[in-house]
Amino acid sequence: MDLKVGVIGTGFIGREHIKRINNKLSGAQVTAVNDINVEAAKSIAEKFNSKFYNSAVDLINSDEVEAIIVASWDPTHAEFVLESIKAGKYVFCEKPLATSAEETLMIIDEEIKFGKKLVQVGFMRRYDRGYREIKNEIENKEIGAPLIIHSIHRNKVPEPQFTTEMSIKNSVIHEIDLYRWLLGEDYKIAQVVIPKTSKNAEGELLDPQIVLLETESGVRIDVESFVNCQYGYDVRCEVVGEEGTLTLADPHQTIKRKKGKKSHPIFPDWSDRFSEAYDIELQEWINDVKKDEMNGPSSWDGYMASYTADLCSQARIKNEIIEIPTQKCPDFYCK
């Protein structure tokens, strides 16, 4: 029997997830959708043979919905995840889990109170083959201990309402989660450096930004976030170890040599670059829900990412190097 999934938010990524689940993945069907953009959601419902719900809360509590995907705007995530936990239903929430660490703690409290892990956060980089290979190489001690990670996160242009704070809380939050997962340790120091601002950054947006992190064991990480780079979507990562380096390679790239030039296309956006990672992420989530278990990035991972992002944001505002106090993971998540 297919798992009946309800999707809240039928914007860019919501539509991608619906298409994936109904046309490509196995074991689930999107049976219900909701969005405050009623016309758009109704047309998606019609196209994918699912039911439109006027209220997200009604969708969550409907008998026709067994599991929920939250793909609406960041400030709505916490409310819908809390409602899903109260309904006792598995919920996949796009990153970030909430817009502040405080809100993610409310989710953690509710989940622990319910007594069962129900939440997965959409940190899909953990499902990318390239990053998974890097993690294996590190764990097999192929390059000795990691010492430094250099990384880049560039978007062609941002959404119209993109703010300076979102560079960290919405964008770099991927790297914050990723390197914590890759290295298996938390962070102890954060700093944000603002270089000269691009003429393409609109309004008050400070772009690019450089986030500097240090882990508990002393690994130094630099993340360039540049959301107005103009030329395409570009994500890079190099791990420097004691005995070698690991560099993330772009998938499916054909290199053309012609008229004295060597070239390859650049991904236009995240949906192309991480297409396979989204497939694997959602297929594993569906399989886990059907087995009545949750193995992906948890609410605790969502909390640690938001907690670190909040402190990075403070470091930027105060222009200071900030210490990140250690957080003890509850047994519920880390036994």
CB of 313 to ligand NAI, least distance (A): 16
Q: Toward ligand NAI, which CB reaches closer, 52 or 333?
A: 52
What are the CB-based long-range contacts (under 8 Å, 24+) for 15-24?
A: 15/44, 16/271, 16/278, 17/69, 17/71, 17/278, 17/282, 18/44, 18/48, 18/50, 19/48, 20/278, 20/279, 20/282, 21/282, 21/286, 22/48, 22/49, 24/279
CB 49 within 8 A of CB 36: no
Question: Angle between the 129-139 and 173-183 helix axes, to the nearest 10 degrees?
Answer: 30
User: Is there binding between residue 36 and ligand NAI (CB under 6 A)?
Assistant: yes
User: Is there binding between residue 228 and ligand NAI (CB under 6 A)?
Assistant: no
What DSSP letter does each residue of 268-281 carry, written as one string?
SSHHHHTHHHHHHH
What DSSP letter does each residue of 300-320 carry, written as one string?
HHHHHHHHHHHHHHHHHHHTS
User: Is there binding between residue 270 and ligand NAI (CB under 6 A)?
Assistant: yes
Residue among 95, 74, 108 nearest 327 (CA): 108
Q: Toward ligand NAI, which CB reaches closer, 143 or 225?
A: 225
End-to-end alpha-carbon separation of the chain, Å?
32
CB of 41 to ligand NAI, least distance (A): 8
Residue in 6, 7, 10, 130 binding ligand NAI, rule: CB under 6 A: 10
User: Is there binding between residue 83 and ligand NAI (CB under 6 A)?
Assistant: no
Residue in 6, 14, 146, 158 binding ligand NAI, rule: CB under 6 A: 14
CB of 86 to ligand NAI, least distance (A): 17
CB of 14 to ligand NAI, least distance (A): 6
Q: Toward ligand NAI, which CB reaches closer, 13 or 143?
A: 13
25: left (phi over 0), alpha (psi -120 to 50) or beta: beta
Q: Toward ligand NAI, which CB reaches closer, 128 or 207?
A: 128
Residue in 34, 50, 298, 306 binding ligand NAI, rule: CB under 6 A: 34
CA dist., res. 127 & res. 135, Å (int): 11
User: Is there binding between residue 61 and ligand NAI (CB under 6 A)?
Assistant: no
CA dist., res. 30 & res. 49, Å (int): 8
User: Is there binding between residue 283 and ligand NAI (CB under 6 A)?
Assistant: no
User: Is there binding between residue 130 and ligand NAI (CB under 6 A)?
Assistant: no
User: Is there binding between residue 225 and ligand NAI (CB under 6 A)?
Assistant: no
Q: What is the CA radius of gyration of the chain?
A: 20
User: Is there binding between residue 197 and ligand NAI (CB under 6 A)?
Assistant: no
Question: Angle between the 101-114 and 77-86 helix axes, to the nearest 10 degrees?
Answer: 10
CB of 317 to ligand NAI, least distance (A): 21
Q: Toward ligand NAI, which CB reaches closer, 143 or 312?
A: 312
User: Is there binding between residue 122 and ligand NAI (CB under 6 A)?
Assistant: yes
Q: Toward ligand NAI, which CB reaches closer, 121 or 192?
A: 121
| Positions in the binding site for ligand NAI (CB under 6 A) | 8-14, 34-37, 56, 71-74, 76, 94-95, 122, 124, 170, 270
